[in-house]
């Protein structure tokens, strides 16, 4: 009798284990070199802890940007500094802070922050573009052009569009009209649905 109960219990445990394994297999998508991406019932990837952290940071940075745009530049800068103190590898907020410092004319601080950001991620299209904008503001046009070119080559559609705008501004200032027009056209083609980008591109092209 006891042996029969043992067999029944063992069979029950095995059945549960099979169900659990099947659930994991059905809800997990194997991608790349051994990486596992958990998916929902529709087969869409579910964000892992790191992705959720990135998305949360984007929301926070977006809120800080609104604070800056409202005119509270000091408050926005203080929020950035507080976030960076919590996470030394927070590259995105460093770039945002660098843009704020550029906007307030604090070029030395902007350069220091952006250099740190590009140490964390040398290929960041946003970081490269922000450095190009800083150098343009400092009238270091050759260096500015080089950073905008790097941002264009980074592969990000959004940053490439605005990097082309940066190049157009450099070419406009240096009297290279044809290069300016070519950059404006490339900016609009890189992100055709971005109306803000298109409006800025049209404005620059009329300044020749």
For residue 103, being part of any structural domain is answered with no
Q: Residue 114's closest CA among 125, 101, 127, 105?
A: 127
Q: Does residue 46 sit within a domain?
A: no
Q: How many folded domains does the chain comprise?
A: 2
20 found inside a domain? yes
pTM: predicted TM-score of the whole model, two decimal places: 0.73
Which domain, by its residues, includes 167? 123-208
Query: Left, alpha or beta for 32 (phi > 0: left; psi -120 to 50: alpha)?
Result: left
| Domain-located, residue 96 | no
Domain membership of residue 66 (yes or no) is: no
The answer to whether position 184 is within a domain reads yes
What SS3 string covers 71-139? CCHHHHHHHHHHHHHHCCCCHHHHHHHHHHHHHCCCHHHHHHHHHHHHHHCCCCHHHHHHHHHHHHHCC
Q: Give the C-alpha separation, 34 to 104, whole Å.
A: 47
> Could you tell me the mean pLDDT of each successive run of 10 residues in the chain, 208 residues long?
48 44 37 40 53 79 92 96 93 96 98 97 94 98 97 85 96 96 94 92 90
In a domain, 72, yes or no: no
Asked, for residue 98, whether it belongs to a domain, the answer is no
| Residues forming beta bridges with residue 134, ordered by sequence position | none
Instruction: Give the CATH number of the domain where residue 170 resides.
Output: 1.25.40.10
């Amino acid at each position: 009798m006891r042996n029969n109960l043992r067999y029944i219990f063992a069979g029950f445990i095995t059945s549960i284990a099979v169900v659990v394994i099947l659930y994991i297999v059905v809800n997990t998508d194997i991608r790349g070199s051994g990486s596992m991406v958990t998916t929902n019932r529709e087969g869409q990837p579910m964000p892992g802890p790191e992705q959720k952290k990135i998305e949360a940071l984007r929301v926070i940075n977006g809120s800080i940007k609104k604070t800056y745009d409202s005119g509270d530049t000091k408050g926005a800068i203080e929020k950035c500094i507080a976030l960076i103190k919590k996470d030394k590898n927070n590259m995105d907020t460093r770039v945002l802070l660098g843009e704020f410092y550029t906007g307030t004319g604090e070029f030395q601080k902007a350069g220091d922050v952006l250099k740190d950001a590009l140490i964390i991620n040398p290929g960041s299209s946003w970081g490269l573009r922000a450095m190009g904008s800083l150098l343009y503001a400092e009238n270091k046009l050759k260096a500015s052009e080089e950073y905008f070119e790097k941002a264009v080559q980074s592969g990000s559609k959004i940053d490439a569009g605005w990097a082309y705008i940066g190049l157009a501004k450099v070419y406009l200032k240096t009297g290279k009209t044809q290069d300016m027009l070519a950059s404006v056209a490339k900016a609009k083609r890189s992100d055709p649905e971005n109306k803000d980008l298109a409006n800025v591109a049209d404005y620059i092209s009329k300044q020749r």
